[in-house]
Structure 1
């Protein structure tokens, strides 16, 4: 047996393609080895169904399920209505596991094929325990570098067709987020707590998968690169995994042998007792022979008791050694997880700093935009007042509430800022005052007065435009 890293990958898909182009159609067609979806395989061969229905039947079951499903939605007026299943709803749950022995080596010997078949059977048993009757199909592929299997799980009894709810890690995430919101946390904190629960449940699933599938098959929990193991350390760990699997098999075989030995011993004692009884019943046999038989029976019973005690002690020692090895392995895993958590925390702090800097820049940009808008409004007001003095801005004789602005640019700027309604009363007062004053002045006096009145307004306009300090 060859050992290597072992884990199971669980993922959901919708009929709409995800960011890498995967969808329900793409996943099932690739599994069925449809030509358009199997270009990555040099010599595609049909998959082997080892549990449930073929992959083509999975597609039919999925489509019928979606066609009959519905989701209740709340309309704007408060009423509820039934809607069909959206294309972006995740409606298929898959599990993928790869056997870490090349396909060429598996097919090279009956022993390797038997080991791979045992691995497949343990996978099916684990999947059935996890998903029950929602598990509709398990298939295997042997036409790629490593043998692997695909499992398909459908939410057949759920009218909303939510495959994500079948994922134990996703369910834990939703429950954690709901509890966080109920405790008064905002959505950001709730999402963080949900993701933490999701990762913890994911590790729990992988640990359970390793205990039920990987370890009995002599496979390791993770590979050497993830934990930065040297080649020698990785070889040592693989050898340990092989020894642990052998210990488990030997223990099972020895337990079977012990049971058989106890059954045989009981049968032997029963036969011997019958013989002694027959000898006692025969008056013509000597008392010495009977006593010898009794002594032999006692010796056999004592020997059987000693053998049973020795076997029990050996099994207990093996169990203790196994427990110590597992505890050491768990300690190593916890240390690696703590290191991963520390790195993740550093990355999160770095991202938080980046977000704070971005928010500060956004606030600065918003303040600059407000200041520029205020300066533009002030310039337009001053230019409108100046236009009232020189006649470029005046009320429409036919509609006194409407103002005529000769300068197209000034008119568009005033309209964009919606300033006329705000200052039209002030403009009316300025226009009426200037009209009354002009009627009492000669043309030359009007020009001088206009220049005198307009001078501070022009100076303010120039300052707004940056022409003067």
Structure 2
């Protein structure tokens, strides 16, 4: 059963710390160079869990340090000093030994989950500074090394170290009343420890607790062995509950995906139906438009037929008129001798009346006889005039003036 967590953060410079560990030495140790691996009985090359190789990490570090510049008074810049921390490191260790993990598939599965939790946490903790995560299996405990390079142009690793940031903030602020240099240092140290405890707590919540580890071991909290075992059992129970919750979440996510897929299928079917309805509506509109065009064409054809029918009537009327005109002309020709004789007779009668009174009676008698014939012609003439009145001005025949008494 797993024990308590271990996580340690430390930054390094090219000059090195009090123990002489420089950036170059730390990375040589990570690579398992012989000169830097004297503490390991049988060194093995590291396994890259995430990111680049240790060699690539060192090359990038050296290239960036060579061009990094630090701004000083007056706006001038200078190269970054060797004492400045330029490499970020975090070591995390699991309670299981390498021997236990390699011998027990269940424990290997547990540390694999623990490693995945560490990678996720490191990517959030270091952000773009994270470069690589490596595993060493040539030491007793199963552990990981996490390396990062500061992202700012001056490569200040201390700017991302929570404890160093808290300490620097206290030292940069004004001293409280009655506080000497020693008290200020003590207060800055307390700020450092508080920030690091908070950091450890955040790591426990993100990695230790989901992995079934306890926050601290029994010695630091003066717990009895039984009490600490009970706490480990609680941690394992919490882990099991989290794993069950995770499994339920997987099932819930799968169900949600099924529902989403079903909903997507329903939406897609609705879209297809809507598209089909739109297509049908469009086709109906086309047919309606075709029907309107057909009706419009029929109306035009009807009007044309009516015009043709009217033209035919006009042609027939013209033809009938021509026929009627020919009849009138023929009647005129036929009546002309008779009318002429009538006129001549009237003229003779007038002449005779003026010359001989005694011939008046004879002339009237003759005129009466002619009037009988004229009556017959008059009827025909009146009919002709009625017909001619529709097509041309009627022929006017001067009436015969009444003869005056001598």
Q: TM (normalized to structure 1)?
A: 0.52
Match in the other structure for 2:9: 10
8 Å contact from structure 1 (residues 91, 162) kept in 2: yes
Match in the other structure for 1:205: 199
Q: Does 1:100 align with 2:91?
A: no
Match in the other structure for 1:44: 43
* Residues 44/266 of structure 1: CA separation in 2 closer, same or farther (3 Å cut): closer
* Residues 49/262 of structure 1: CA separation in 2 closer, same or farther (3 Å cut): closer
1:175 Cα deviation from its structure 2 partner = 2.1
Q: Does 1:134 align with 2:129?
A: yes
Q: Does 1:173 align with 2:174?
A: no
Residues in 2 aligned to 1:252 and 1:18: alpha-carbon distance in whole angstroms: 43
1:257 Cα deviation from its structure 2 partner = 4.2
Residues in 1 aligned to 2:53 and 2:26: alpha-carbon distance in whole angstroms: 14
1:260 Cα deviation from its structure 2 partner = 6.1
Runs of 5+ unmatched residues, structure 2: 262-406
1:163 Cα deviation from its structure 2 partner = 0.9
1:258 Cα deviation from its structure 2 partner = 5.7
Aligned counterparts, 1:57-456, within 5 A = 57-74=56-73, 81-159=76-154, 161-181=155-175, 187-257=181-251
Residues in 1 aligned to 2:231 and 2:237: alpha-carbon distance in whole angstroms: 10
Residues in 2 aligned to 1:123 and 1:57: alpha-carbon distance in whole angstroms: 22
Residues in 2 aligned to 1:85 and 1:183: alpha-carbon distance in whole angstroms: 36
Runs of 5+ unmatched residues, structure 1: 268-469
Residues in 1 aligned to 2:234 and 2:250: alpha-carbon distance in whole angstroms: 24
Residues in 1 aligned to 2:23 and 2:172: alpha-carbon distance in whole angstroms: 29
8 Å contact from structure 1 (residues 6, 219) kept in 2: yes
* Residues 261/180 of structure 1: CA separation in 2 closer, same or farther (3 Å cut): same
* Residues 38/207 of structure 1: CA separation in 2 closer, same or farther (3 Å cut): same
* Residues 14/257 of structure 1: CA separation in 2 closer, same or farther (3 Å cut): closer
- Which has the larger Rg? 2
8 Å contact from structure 1 (residues 71, 82) kept in 2: yes
SS of alignment partner, residue 226 of structure 2? helix
1:196 Cα deviation from its structure 2 partner = 2.1
The alignment of Structure 1 onto Structure 2 pairs a total of residues equal to 262
* Residues 102/68 of structure 1: CA separation in 2 closer, same or farther (3 Å cut): same
Residues in 2 aligned to 1:265 and 1:167: alpha-carbon distance in whole angstroms: 45
SS of alignment partner, residue 226 of structure 1? helix
SS of alignment partner, residue 218 of structure 2? coil
Residues in 1 aligned to 2:162 and 2:173: alpha-carbon distance in whole angstroms: 17
Residues in 1 aligned to 2:250 and 2:35: alpha-carbon distance in whole angstroms: 52
8 Å contact from structure 1 (residues 71, 83) kept in 2: yes
SS of alignment partner, residue 250 of structure 1? helix
Match in the other structure for 2:278: none
1:90 Cα deviation from its structure 2 partner = 1.3
Match in the other structure for 1:34: 33
8 Å contact from structure 1 (residues 180, 193) kept in 2: no
1:39 Cα deviation from its structure 2 partner = 1.5
SS of alignment partner, residue 101 of structure 1? strand
* Residues 156/262 of structure 1: CA separation in 2 closer, same or farther (3 Å cut): closer
* Residues 179/257 of structure 1: CA separation in 2 closer, same or farther (3 Å cut): same
Residues in 2 aligned to 1:128 and 1:257: alpha-carbon distance in whole angstroms: 27
1:221 Cα deviation from its structure 2 partner = 0.5
Residues in 2 aligned to 1:172 and 1:156: alpha-carbon distance in whole angstroms: 20
Residues in 2 aligned to 1:174 and 1:261: alpha-carbon distance in whole angstroms: 51
Match in the other structure for 2:318: none
Residues in 2 aligned to 1:104 and 1:45: alpha-carbon distance in whole angstroms: 15
Residues in 2 aligned to 1:259 and 1:134: alpha-carbon distance in whole angstroms: 32
SS of alignment partner, residue 211 of structure 2? coil
User: Which whole-Å deviations, capped at 9, do the CAs of 1:418-457 have from their partners, x for residues lacking one?
Assistant: xxxxxxxxxxxxxxxxxxxxxxxxxxxxxxxxxxxxxxxx
1:255 Cα deviation from its structure 2 partner = 4.3
8 Å contact from structure 1 (residues 220, 238) kept in 2: yes
Residues in 1 aligned to 2:64 and 2:179: alpha-carbon distance in whole angstroms: 37
